[in-house]
Structure 1
Amino acid sequence: MAGRNGRTVRDLRRGNRTAVLQRLYFDGPLSRFELGPATGLSSGSVSNVVTDLIADGLVEEAGSVDSDGGRPRTLLRVSPHSGQMIGVDVGETRVRVELFDLALTELARTERPLTAQGYDVDVIVGHIRDGIAEVLTSEQAVPERLLGVGVGVPGIVEHTPDRGAVVHGQTIGWDAVPLERLLRATSPLPDEVPYVIDNGAKTLGQAEMWFGAGRGARNAVVVLFGSGVGACLVTPEVEHGRAVEWGHLTVRVRGRRCRCGAPGCLEAYAGAESLLARWREEGGRPPEGTDEETALTAMLAAAYPSEGTAPDPVALAVLEETAEYLGAGLSDLINLFQPERILIGGWAGLQLGTRFLPAVRRHAATYALRHPADKVTIDLGRLGPDAVTVGAAILPLADFFASGGRRPEPLGEDRLPAWRAALEERAPR
């Protein structure tokens, strides 16, 4: 039965379970007494919900603490072994697949390098499918506890009612690729296990908000700085995050040709690919036959050599120019979104690191409006190069919490008839 606000008893129960699970997950261990003020629920509601969650195996006892003059209070936490998630990062040089428990502890991982075939759709789908199958055969995998698979991809992700998640990745040659449908068609997983697909910058941002340098902020902009650049405006709630194609902001009219095909994009000046290309064009000598990460390491060593060695003026000049472009690009994010924090992640951003950061901050302050610039902090992300994969795994975890910790039922004949399910739903708890 629906109430005046349209919410049913089932909705209320789900909301109560979600509130308790999230508080225990982010702030636990907590006692039942502490859960009341933390969730806004009555002591009776907390007791009922906790009893249900313990019976479902989602919550467990985690010791006790003394109370003021009474019996010790039992502490509760979300059981880390009660669920597992898979995170997939479709990156610039490889596809990484990792299996996590509910506490985001890595249980297994595999990587598939991207060769000359690059972002061929069939190759990527095959890498994801094979990677999932591999991690699920690891010693610590419990496939029946799998909550879902999260996938972080480059480009714009459109969620459609008929084809699921569709990827528009202009820089990688993907034009309306129905990735979710393709994965499901070759999936080794049961139909009820969801695939949740989103932009890689968004998954990076969500990981930093939940577990990294964004924790505690109302909002932040997280920058993914790799071969190209992207950004996401994120909040602690996954559904409110928004990826923005920041790398394709025009920073110079009739400028360098970006890999998306347009002239003058920020990515044509601030991504690692363009940074190394400009060094080469100006007479620099990146090592031949190496990947971008190795070449960028060589460039940094040339620009900032050990004591007693003169720096390579060309490498230094290109890096300083890149810092200015990046700072100017961040000023646009500051003026548009007025975030509390800007966090720079991605393999190239982390590799450039603290040596690069002061110049980026200085240029951002120069180009941004003074009031929002005074209120924002610019730092590096804390979760390292695996942050996109962690963030991808968060996507099905967030959906699981939103459902009140209810796993999707198998699509088999043993599902309860609708009338029987309705009766059980109305039964007193």
Structure 2
Amino acid sequence: MTGRNGRTVRDLRRANRTAVLQRLYFDGPLSRFELGPATGLSSGSISNVVADLVGDGLVEEAGSVESDGGRPRTLLRVAPTSGHLIGVDVGETRVRVELFDLALTELARTERPLEPQRYDVEVVVGHVRDAVTEVIAATGIGPEQLLGVGIGVPGIVERTPERGAVVHGQTIGWDAVPLEELLREGSPLPGPVPYFIDNGAKTLGQAEMWFGGGRGAHNAVVVLFGSGVGACLVTPEVEHGRAVEWGHLTVRVRGRRCRCGALGCLEAYAGAESLLERWGEAGGRPPRDTDEETALTAMLAAAYPAEGGEPDPVALGVLEETAEYLGAGLSDLINLFQPERILIGGWAGLQLGTRFLPAVRRHATSYALTYPARKVTVELGRLGPDAVTVGAAILPLADFFARGGRRPEPVPEGPTPAWQAVLEERAPR
């Protein structure tokens, strides 16, 4: 049955389940009485939906509270063990995989290092497959209990009907890589378990907006500062965020060669990889035969030595110049999108931390227009180095909520008979 607005009874039931699940997830535990005002549903609808969700094992009791003159009210929450999620961060130095319960409590994790400057597709796919198998085995859950695998990757993600998610990662040498298709070939997971692949900056942004420094903001930009730089824009029109290739904004005409091949990109001056290169070019001594995170730690120690030490003027000068480039890049985001908040995350951003932030903030507001600069705050992200992985796990979680807490079903071969479609619409849910 279809209403005037084109919504079916099934659509309405799914929307009601979604509303209750989301309120319990973000604001719970809540009583049935509190769920009414929180969702806008009638008490009768709340009773029906809650009974349905309890019957499905998605909602459980979580104690009780005293009411005004009546019986204690039973509190409800989303059952943490009713589903499991995997988040994958395909970074530029390693692949990190974590398995979570529905409350995003980490149950298992593993990492696979990647060789510097080598992002072989087969190696990355093999790492993801092996790591997924490892975290599942470590927890003993059945693969069929997974709601999905979320994956954050560098580059632009295109969704195609034929090959699924295709990754255009120009800075890592990935040209239209059909990552989803490759992962499904020989996958250790059952066919119905979906993959959700998106840009790593977007998954970072999603995590910070749901659980970190972005909560409560309507307009925000979350910046990923690692080997390279990227950003995620979140507005009321783009509530789940949109990745923007901010790192390839031109900040200097005929400037340094970027990894993408162009000249003068922000990433060529502000990414951790280029920062360390510039330190060496200026006469500094970056440690050899080590990863970028260790080398950046050495640079910070040289620029800001322990009390009584003499700072390395070369390292300090390169860091101060990098802060200005980052601030100038942020000013473009401020002028273009006028966000309430800018959050800086990623392993390099967090490692530079509060020591680096005042200079970045000062340059950002000095280069930006006065009015939007007065309205914005520039802070560090709050979720730490695991934020991309958590954000990747949110991708299947958000899809699960949108389905009203129902798992995806295998797609039957051929069209559904008309009589079966009618019966499905009438079936109680």
Superposition TM-score, scaled by structure 1 size = 0.96
Q: Is the 8 A contact 1:206 1:235 kept in 2?
A: no
Q: Is the 8 A contact 2:25 2:78 kept in 1?
A: yes
Q: Is the 8 A contact 1:334 1:372 kept in 2?
A: yes
Gapped regions of structure 2 (runs ≥ 5) = none
Q: Is the 8 A contact 1:148 1:396 kept in 2?
A: yes
Deviation, structure 1 residue 161:
1.5
Deviation, structure 1 residue 142:
3.5
Partner of 1:179: 179
Any idea what the Cα deviations from partners look like across 1:157-207, whole Å, max 9, x if unmatched? 011122111100000001111111111122111111110000000000100
In 2, the alpha carbon distance for the partners of 1:340 and 1:247 equals 21
In 2, the alpha carbon distance for the partners of 1:117 and 1:190 equals 33
Residue range with higher mean Cα deviation, 288-297 or 393-402? 288-297
The DSSP-based 3-state class of the residue aligned with 2:382 is: coil
Partner of 1:286: 286
> Equivalent residues in 2 for 1:1-400 (5 A)?
1-115=1-115, 118-234=118-234, 240-400=240-400
Deviation, structure 1 residue 240:
3.4
The DSSP-based 3-state class of the residue aligned with 1:48 is: helix
Q: Is the 8 A contact 2:109 2:135 kept in 1?
A: yes
The code of the aligned residue for 2:167 comes to V
Q: Is the 8 A contact 2:96 2:389 kept in 1?
A: yes
In 2, the alpha carbon distance for the partners of 1:424 and 1:260 equals 50
Gapped regions of structure 1 (runs ≥ 5) = none
Any idea what the Cα deviations from partners look like across 1:69-104, whole Å, max 9, x if unmatched? 111111000001000011110001111111100010
Any idea what the Cα deviations from partners look like across 1:263-311, whole Å, max 9, x if unmatched? 0000000011111111101110111211111111111111111121111
In 2, the alpha carbon distance for the partners of 1:139 and 1:45 equals 37
The DSSP-based 3-state class of the residue aligned with 2:137 is: coil
The code of the aligned residue for 1:59 comes to V
Q: Is the 8 A contact 2:278 2:318 kept in 1?
A: yes
In 2, the alpha carbon distance for the partners of 1:34 and 1:16 equals 15
Residue range with higher mean Cα deviation, 156-165 or 74-83? 156-165
Change (3 A) 1:140 1:26: farther
Any idea what the Cα deviations from partners look like across 1:111-150, whole Å, max 9, x if unmatched? 1111267211111111111111111111353422200000
In 1, the alpha carbon distance for the partners of 2:395 and 2:238 equals 7
Superposition TM-score, scaled by structure 2 size = 0.96
The code of the aligned residue for 1:294 comes to T
In 2, the alpha carbon distance for the partners of 1:348 and 1:187 equals 32
Q: Is the 8 A contact 1:107 1:141 kept in 2?
A: no
Aligned length: 427
Any idea what the Cα deviations from partners look like across 1:26-69, whole Å, max 9, x if unmatched? 00000111111110111111110000000000000001111111
Q: Is the 8 A contact 2:234 2:241 kept in 1?
A: yes
The code of the aligned residue for 2:345 comes to G
In 2, the alpha carbon distance for the partners of 1:236 and 1:62 equals 33
The code of the aligned residue for 1:131 comes to A
Deviation, structure 1 residue 217:
1.2
Residue range with higher mean Cα deviation, 180-189 or 269-278? 180-189
The code of the aligned residue for 2:221 comes to V
Q: Is the 8 A contact 2:116 2:291 kept in 1?
A: no
